[in-house]
Amino acid sequence: MKNINFVFVYKHLQDKMVKHILTVFLLLPSFLYAQINTERVMTIARNALYFEDYVLSIQYFNQIISVKPYLYEPYFFRGLAKFNLDDYQGAEEDCDAAIDRNPFVVGAYQVRGLARIRQDNYDGAIDDYKSALKYDPENVVLWHNLSLCHMQKNDYQSAKEDLERLLKIAPKNTKAYLMRGEVFLKEKDTIQALRDFDFAITIDRYDPDAWGARAIVCIQQGKYADAEADLNHAIHLSVKNAGNYINRALARFHQNNLRGAMGDYDLALDIDPNNFLGHYNRGLLRAQVGDDNRAIEDFDFVLKMEPDNMMATFNRGLLRAQTGNYRGAISDYSKVIAEYPNFTAGYYHRADARKKIGDRKGAEQDEFKVMKMQIDKRNGATSNNKDVADNAKQSEKDSRTRKKSDKNMDNYRKIVIADDSEIDQKYKSYYRGRVQDRNVTIKPESMYALTYYEKISDVKGTVHFYKYIDALNQSKIFPKPLKITNMEAPLTEEQVKYHFALIDAHTSDIVADDKDAKKRFLRGMDFYLVQDFASSVADFTKAILLDDTFFPAYFMRALVRYKQLEYEKAEAEMDDKGPSVAGEDKSDNHNDVTAVDYNIVKKDLDRVIQLAPDFVYGYYNRANVSSILKDYRGALADYNKAIELNKDFAEAYFNRGLTHIFLGDNKQGISDLSKAGELGIVPAYNIIKRFTQIRE
């Protein structure tokens, strides 16, 4: 049985920390050619970290550490970058260095605690969270993670005490109630667990984890119809969660809805093709309804995952015999008998298969073995199959299901549910791993950029094209073809070195001829890719001065300025909300971002549209800026124009849908979001569900 899917906070911490504790300052391009200016390099490094260019940021932090090894910040931020690259040991070591240099940095304890968790060092993580709480006692994230660590150590009393403190600080924290409910379940207190799950649903009816948690308890209590109803809600809100379909299939199976259960296993396996329970149980149900060949396919898959699974081997043997493959069946039966020499059914079925292929001697031997075992049983002989005795209580408790670890071969036809240990591991993995199936943050799709590198999407396969950009690519002036994308890929270490070398080469070209706008643009692109935004803006500005009709320079200058503003705004929010160093006075640290700043960006996009009125990405980016300025009508006009120019512009539909919702027109907004989902923006479906009333 799958466990409750919690939205654990390590990812929340990453998002909050990475997105809110960094800032962008104006930079000068000369740092690459003069003695290192640590303050300016630190700014570029943090900028790269904020925009998830982790490898590049590490290169910058290395430079600072080599010059000023006594600073704590480069170690801390490098540790954060390493954590995001799954280098948990390296992240812990860098946080050690940061704390040695400044023991009052709350964020360093947070990141080190997470790195220790990822290495199963829960005691170390608990020490870190307790240390951090001395400096920031009302930090919800710290209390949340501390309680989870205590749960992993089965210290349920401490976990409940932590959660009590968390709920005093944040009395409507849904996840805290779900976690406490889980603790009560582990203590076998179903009544208290249900109270917490019910209250979590009361607080947030749009949290699929709350519905899924209550459904688990209903299944345990045998209230299968109630469990199915709760899982319907959970699936409605989180359509890509395989565990909910697995659990609903179990609830439907107990209500004898075999077709519905198989349908749920189908959906679960579409989401998680390697799900053991999905394949095994679907194979059993397919066998029950006579779909033998496809049942064999499921057991084949199970045996690829677990070649020594004797239950699956025996079931496949039965199906092979049913479809006329008697030799294959005999092979499977023989494997099971070798493992379980007292398994009566194995000899019985092998004898039948041997008869079918004319092996009378072998069949007689098996029949004699069956007869002898039956006589021994009547005479009260003790079975050597200790697994039968070990699992007798479980078999009596539930005649239709078995735990995965159950080795009693007499239970081979039973539906499988997860072991308690596997439930704990699943719970642990949600805490530790990346969880994609979460309630998405409602935010617009990103701005479009010109770049050489693009992330690969598993869903969207659109190639963005514009004739002028294609002509530039055909002219071969760029080191790589320019791409139009809003899914920019971070640079690898090799790419970082490559673009630093290009900056040197372009600088030499500019010295030789400083009147060529495209040469300035080329170097501006390289500065942009290595996150040196100020130098990038300077080169794009120079390109515009040299050729005021070259619209790509306006387009990229607008994008870079927009990113600078978003970064400064994030830093200002962090100043208000999140102390990073105990006792730090942040009253003078604000970077105020005003509408005037965004209007400067908008003016560049106005010029792009004037020079290239059919460049759809100019309208789209300007619409995004208008939305930030709360000019929703202006944004709608630009999204409309973008869609008019490109009927399959998924991001424009998505953002226009959000804009309609902001204006209160949910019907039109959902229509646009539906189109965006159809065109490959999967989060649209989650948002649709959140704005569609749940039917009771």
Thinking of the domain 449-608, which architecture would CATH place it in? Alpha Horseshoe (1.25)
Per-residue pLDDT band for 36 (boundaries 50, 70, 90) equals low
Report the pLDDT averaged over residues 320-339: 95
pLDDT(527) > 90: yes
pLDDT at 573: 63
Q: What is the pLDDT of residues 74-94, one digit of tens each?
A: 999 999 999 988 889 999 999
Percent of the chain clearing pLDDT 90 (strictly above): 67
Is pLDDT larger for residue 10 or for residue 400?
400
Report the pLDDT averaged over residues 189-193: 93
pLDDT(336) > 90: yes
Domain map (residue ranges) of the chain: 1-170, 326-432, 449-608
- CB of 431 closer than 8 Å to CB of 6: yes
Per-residue pLDDT band for 418 (boundaries 50, 70, 90) equals confident
Is pLDDT larger for residue 572 or for residue 551?
551
Which residues, 6+ apart, have CB-to-CB distance to 245 below 8 Å? Answer: 235, 264, 265, 267, 268, 271
Thinking of the domain 326-432, which architecture would CATH place it in? Alpha Horseshoe (1.25)
pLDDT at 567: 82
- Which residue bears the tokens 């345990």? 220
pLDDT(312) > 60: yes
| Host H or E run for residue 656 | helix 650-662
In angstroms, the CA 214 to CA 430 distance is 18
DSSP assigned state of 31: G
- CB of 309 closer than 8 Å to CB of 329: no
Q: Assess if CATH 1.25.40.10 describes domain 1-170.
A: yes
Q: Is the dihedral of CA 151, 156, 158, 159 positive or negative?
A: positive
Q: What is the pLDDT of residues 156-166, one digit of tens each?
A: 999 999 999 99
| Host H or E run for residue 167 | helix 156-169
Q: What is the mean pLDDT of the chain?
A: 85
In angstroms, the CA 365 to CA 368 distance is 5
In angstroms, the CA 5 to CA 271 distance is 15
Per-residue pLDDT band for 441 (boundaries 50, 70, 90) equals low
Identical topology for domains 1-170 and 326-432: yes
In angstroms, the CA 108 to CA 75 distance is 9
pLDDT at 615: 97
In angstroms, the CA 312 to CA 359 distance is 25
